[in-house]
């Protein structure tokens, strides 16, 4: 493996414009690299058009040299959370971080870099391999938009791996929650706050009373709920007649998810009615949960690949969603793999230089394990 090449590529990728919907530079770059490696590459225009981005997912395929080997998908996303403009990565004492004003972007350029370097090793060493599919998605950070709106007919893999977790290299996530978005509009009654407040119904106060009765936060080991955004009111001298709240609930158990969403909906509605107001509650399924048995080929081969590198393989669950939620829903069993990134979505984000290189070795091991499983 060429560590120097990999480090330079990682630095180059994180410096590119990469906010959700603006991944064109990164998409063009990975397309060029994949073509140089012999892949046929298409752009999934459907995804970009449906959520308004300037590029679609990049989907690439390479024929295998081992007859009968499973087709393996390798996936990572091209976007980063804000602030990601002008990222200036630095390497100090084996740790890569930004200078502190931005995120680093290892989420998920570490996954992208690991995939590209692992593929180069396969080609440069002329190693036997099955068919390989690469899916670099867009808009992941803005709500899994790339995988949500993906042209499903492009997915041909038998199973896959999304390199998009902060766990150590060798960590294999096989459980993830589904999520419901709960949008609420509470309608009260407007009045002058100084002259006739008793004539109004304060929508913000109604919302507060509902929130005081609501179960939220960590509900159990696999279920959470959060009140994320609240907006309303126009002036301090006006009793606000409308307030909007954006909430979510997640669980790896759909029955628990349904129960929590029902609780939140009923609480908003019941409190509003009791206060003489009204609550309009809309629930939208963001994505489905997934669960992979340890006996499945995708998990077994991930464990074998980790052992071949003398890595500790950990089978874990997560409370977060990823593109793997959609890939699994589309019929492609997909586990999420740790690449060692830490404190993601903050300006303190970092990754160990050694984990960056180890992730590429793991990609190579995954492909070799698949080729030897015939």
pTM attached to this predicted model: 0.91
Q: What is the pLDDT of residue 22?
A: 95
Q: Is the per-residue pLDDT at 374 higher than 90? A: no
Q: Is the per-residue pLDDT at 173 higher than 90? A: yes
Domains in the chain: how many in total? 2
Q: Is the per-residue pLDDT at 246 higher than 90? A: yes
From 287, 311, 328, give the residue that closes a domain.
287
- DSSP code of residue 313: P
**pLDDT tier at 54, thresholds 50, 70, 90:** very high
From 271, 287, 303, give the residue that closes a domain.
287
Which positions ≥6 away from 327 have C-beta within 8 Å? 73, 75, 147, 155, 160, 162, 334
Residue 97 belongs to domain spanning: 3-176+289-371
Burial class (CB in 10 A: 0-12, 13-18, 19+), 162: buried
Residue 307 is encoded by which pair of tokens?
Answer: 């052992």
State the catalytic residue, choosing from 23, 44, 117, 140.
140
State the catalytic residue, choosing from 9, 23, 44, 79.
79
**pLDDT tier at 93, thresholds 50, 70, 90:** very high
From 260, 287, 314, give the residue that closes a domain.
287
Q: What is the pLDDT of residue 89?
A: 95
Report pLDDT digits (tens) over 259-309: 999 999 999 999 999 999 999 999 999 999 999 999 999 999 999 999 999
Which positions ≥6 away from 48 have C-beta within 8 Å? 54, 55, 56, 57, 138, 139, 146
Is 124 noted as a catalytic residue in this protein? no
Report pLDDT digits (tens) over 125-153: 999 999 999 999 999 999 999 999 999 99
β-partners of residue 367 are: none
By percentage, how much of the chain surpasses pLDDT 70?
A: 100
Is 140 noted as a catalytic residue in this protein? yes
The full DSSP string for 327-338 is: HHHTT--EEEEE
Same domain as 152, residue 66 = yes
Same domain as 266, residue 166 = no
CATH code at position 338? 3.40.630.10
């Amino acid at each position: 493996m060429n560590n120097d090449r990999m480090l330079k590529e990682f630095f180059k990728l994180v410096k590119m414009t990469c906010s959700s919907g603006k991944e064109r530079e990164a998409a063009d770059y990975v397309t060029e690299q994949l073509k140089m490696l012999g892949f046929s590459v298409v752009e999934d225009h459907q995804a970009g058009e449906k959520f308004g981005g300037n590029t679609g997912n990049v989907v690439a395929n390479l024929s295998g040299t081992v007859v009968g080997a499973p087709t393996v998908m390798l996936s990572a996303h091209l976007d980063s959370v804000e602030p990601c403009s002008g990222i200036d990565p630095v390497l100090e004492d084996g740790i890569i971080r930004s200078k502190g004003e931005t995120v680093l972007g290892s989420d998920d350029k570490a996954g992208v870099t690991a995939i590209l370097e692992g593929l180069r090793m396969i080609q440069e060493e002329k190693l036997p391999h099955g068919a390989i599919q690469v899916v670099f998605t867009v808009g992941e950070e803005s709500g899994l938009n790339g995988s949500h709106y993906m042209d499903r007919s492009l997915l041909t893999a038998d199973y896959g791996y999304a390199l998009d977790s902060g766990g150590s290299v060798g960590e294999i996530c096989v459980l993830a929650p589904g999520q419901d978005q709960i949008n609420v509009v509470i309608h009260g009654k407007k009045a002058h706050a100084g002259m006739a407040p008793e004539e109004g119904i304060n929508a913000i106060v109604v919302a507060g009373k509902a929130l005081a009765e609501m179960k939220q936060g960590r509900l159990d080991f696999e279920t959470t709920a959060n009140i994320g955004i609240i907006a309303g009111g126009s002036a301090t001298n006006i009793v606000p007649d409308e307030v909007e709240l954006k909430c979510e609930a997640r669980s790896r158990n759909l029955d628990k998810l349904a129960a929590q969403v029902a609780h939140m909906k009923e609480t908003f509605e019941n409190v509003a009615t009791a206060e003489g107001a009204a609550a309009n509650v809309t629930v939208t399924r963001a994505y489905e949960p997934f669960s992979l048995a340890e006996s499945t080929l995708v998990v077994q081969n991930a464990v074998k690949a980790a052992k071949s590198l003398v890595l500790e393989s950990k089978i874990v669950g997560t409370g977060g969603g990823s593109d793997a939620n959609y890939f699994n829903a589309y019929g492609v069993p997909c586990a999420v793999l740790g690449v060692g990134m830490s404190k993601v979505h903050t300006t303190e984000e970092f990754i160990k230089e050694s984990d960056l290189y180890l992730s590429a070795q793991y990609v190579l091991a995954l492909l070799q394990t698949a080729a030897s499983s015939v």
